[in-house]
Chains A and B, each alone.
Chain A
Amino acid sequence: MSFLELKNITKRYGPMTAVGDISLSVEKGEFVSLLGPSGCGKTTTLQMIAGFVEPSAGTIRLDGRDITRAKANSRGLGIVFQSYALFPHMTVFDNVSFGLEMQRVPKGERKPRVEEALALVHLSPYAGRYPRELSGGQRQRVALARALVIRPPVLLLDEPLSNLDAKLREAMQFELRDIQRKVGTTTVMVTHDQSEAFSISDRVVVMEAGRITQIDQPYRIYEHPQTEFISRFVGKTNLLPGTVTAATAGGASVSLAGIRVDVETAGLSAGETVTLCIRPEKLRLTAPTQGLLTGRVADRYFLGSQWLYHIDGPLGTLMAVTPNDGSTPVETGAPVGLDWSPAVVRIHRGTLAEAPDPALEVAG
Chain B
Amino acid sequence: MTRNGPVALIFHTLVVLFMLAPLAIVCLVAFTPENTLSLPTHGFSLRWFEAVFHHPDFVQSFWNSLWLALLSATLAVGLAVPAALAITRFEFPGRGFLNALFLSPLIIPHLVLGVAMLRLFAIVGATGSFGWLVAAHMVIVTPYVMRLLIAAISGFDRSVEQAALSLGASEATVFRRVTLPMILPGVTGGWLIAFINSFDELTMSIFITSPSTVTLPVRMYMYATESIDPMMAAVSALIIGITAVAVLLLDRVYGLDRILVGQH
Residue positions of A touching B, CB distance < 8 A: 50-52, 72-79, 81-83, 85-89, 98-99, 102-103, 132, 143, 146-147, 150
Contact = CB atoms under 8 A, between A and B. Distances in A.
Nearest to B157: A83
B163 A150 contact: no
B166 interface: yes
Interface of B is mostly: helix
A79 B173 contact: no
B173 A102 contact: yes
Contact of B166 (A72, A82, A88, A132): A72
B167 A85 contact: no
Given A89-B181, A89-B182, A50 B167 contact: no
A81 B159 contact: yes
A146 B264 CA distance: 21
Interface residues of B, number: 20
Contacts of B170: 73
Contacts of A79: 162-163, 166
Contacts of B184: 89
Among A76, A78, A81, A143, chain B packs the most CB atoms within 10 A around the CB of: A81
Contacts of B162: 50, 52, 72, 79, 81, 85
B168 A150 contact: yes
Contacts of B164: 87, 98
Contacts of B169: 73, 98, 102
Nearest to B169: A102
Q: When A and B form their complex, which 7 residue pairs have the shortest distance between CB atoms, in order from nearest?
A: A99-B167, A102-B168, A85-B159, A85-B163, A81-B159, A85-B160, A79-B166
A86 B160 contact: yes
A323 B242 CA distance: 76
B165 interface: yes
A283 B166 CA distance: 49
B160 to A, nearest CB: 5
B168 A103 contact: yes
Nearest to A80: B163
Given A73-B166, A88-B264, A102-B169, 15 more contacts: A52-B162, A73-B167, A73-B171, A77-B166, A79-B163, A86-B163, A87-B160, A87-B164, A87-B177, A87-B178, A98-B167, A99-B168, A102-B167, A146-B163, A147-B166
